[in-house]
């Protein structure tokens, strides 16, 4: 909760600071490096989902700023079950599983490591055709009317955890 007061809520607030511009650039580059989307014309009868950036200051265990994170998130609340997606699933580790693994590691004398997969949601391939609007501040010049077709999941989509 240390940084929640400082974190911008709106794009306009974030663009006043270079640290947030860099964080947004990093997020877009990460998405593009992963071949998450392709710019295209919205097909007739299809609808696009709006997107926005969520800004969060990440702190280390000493309470010092570790990094500034901007995450592009789709407005999945506008998706309709049976139309835009068919299945929702959220993989979660149960506490009894975690305890069992730690107990086995302790018995065997194994070292236990924790890791975070950067942009984990962006690796799940989508089965459905999903279109999103271009992000505010990242609209391709001369392509203002186009949208992105998603090939991989994006945070906020109903089917992202399953993918």
pLDDT digits (tens, 9 = 90+) for 28-40: 999 999 899 999 9
- Does the CA dihedral 64-68-69-75 come out positive or negative? positive
Q: What percent of the chain has pLDDT over 90?
A: 56
Q: What is the per-residue burial (b if ≥16 Cβ within 10 Å, else e) of 76-91?
A: beebeeeebbeeeeee
| pTM for the model | 0.74
Distance CA 8, CA 15 (A): 9
Where in the chain are the domains?
11-152
Residue 73 CB-half CA count within 13 A:
16
* Closest CA relative to residue 122, chosen from 37, 11, 50: 37
In this predicted model, what pLDDT tens digit does every residue of 77-101 receive, in sequence order? Answer: 676 665 556 666 666 778 898 899 9
């Amino acid at each position: 909760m240390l940084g929640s007061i400082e974190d911008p809520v709106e794009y306009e607030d974030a663009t006043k600071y270079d640290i947030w511009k860099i964080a947004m650039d990093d997020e877009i580059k990460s998405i593009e490096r992963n071949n998450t989307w392709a710019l295209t014309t919205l097909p007739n009868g299809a609808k696009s989902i709006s997107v926005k950036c969520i800004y969060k200051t990440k702190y280390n265990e000493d309470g010092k700023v570790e990094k500034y994170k901007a995450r592009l998130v789709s407005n999945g609340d506008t998706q309709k079950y049976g139309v835009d997606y068919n299945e929702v699933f959220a993989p979660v580790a149960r506490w009894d599983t975690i305890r069992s693994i730690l107990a086995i590691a302790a018995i065997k004398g194994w070292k236990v490591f924790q890791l975070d997969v950067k942009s984990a949601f962006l690796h799940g391939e989508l089965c459905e055709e999903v279109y999103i609007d271009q992000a505010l501040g990242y609209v391709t010049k001369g392509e203002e009317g186009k949208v992105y077709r998603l090939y991989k999941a994006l945070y906020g989509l109903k089917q992202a955890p399953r993918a």
